[in-house]
Amino acid sequence: MSSTEVHTTPRWQSAALWIVKGLLAAIFFAAGGAKLYGVSMMVETFEHVGLGQGFRYVTGLLEVVGGIAILVSSVAAFGALLLSCIMVGAVVTHLVIGGSAVPAIVLLLLSATVAVAHRDQFGAVLAPNGSRA
């Protein structure tokens, strides 16, 4: 593709990506909000994990920030990467302490899909001003 060609994404792919981003944002707003609000199930879960309630607040805040970031086109890749990292931790935690890791795996895959779809943002940060390494 030459530098003068314009790459266009099919409309259905763009719409599907926005639907995934919207669903992820809603899920992480709800989950992060529940952690920040102190819903008893979340308090008990973090007590069982043994990392303390401060970690619950940090996790909740990061989930809300990631949920907002994936809706902002200029930083969507970074929000998705943040959420992917959180979900890696969630998968490991579920595997270690028990319970189903399937929901966390699904959220990890969806977050990673958004990160890959916006991967050009990573290159823009790593090679500013159009320079390539």
Residues 85-115 have pLDDT tens digits of 999 999 999 999 888 999 999 999 999 999 9
Task: Report residue 1's pLDDT band, with 50, 70 and 90 as the boundaries.
Answer: very low
pLDDT at position 72 is: 95
pLDDT higher than 70, residue 133: no
22/104 Cα distance (integer angstroms):
17
Please state the rounded mean pLDDT for residues 45-71.
94
Q: Is residue 131 a part of any domain in this protein?
A: no
- 107 in Cβ contact with 94 (< 8 Å): no
pLDDT at position 14 is: 87
Please return the burial class of 59, using the count of CB atoms within 10 Å of its CB with bins 0-12, 13-18 and 19+: buried
Please return the burial class of 2, using the count of CB atoms within 10 Å of its CB with bins 0-12, 13-18 and 19+: exposed
pLDDT at position 119 is: 92
Q: What is the pTM of this model?
A: 0.84
In which domain, by residue range, is 105 found? Answer: 11-125
Helix (H, G, I), strand (E, B) or coil at 125: helix
- Nearest to 42, CA basis, from 59, 25, 29: 59
Q: Is residue 132 a part of any domain in this protein?
A: no
Q: Of the segments 41-45, 52-56, 82-86, which one has the largest average pLDDT value?
A: 82-86
Q: Is residue 78 a part of any domain in this protein?
A: yes
Q: Is residue 2 a part of any domain in this protein?
A: no
How far CA 55 is from CA of 16, 33, 62, in Å, comes to: 33, 14, 10
Q: Is residue 23 a part of any domain in this protein?
A: yes
What value, to the nearest 5°, has the Cα angle with vertex 64 and ends 95 and 24? 65
Indicate the number of domains in the chain.
1
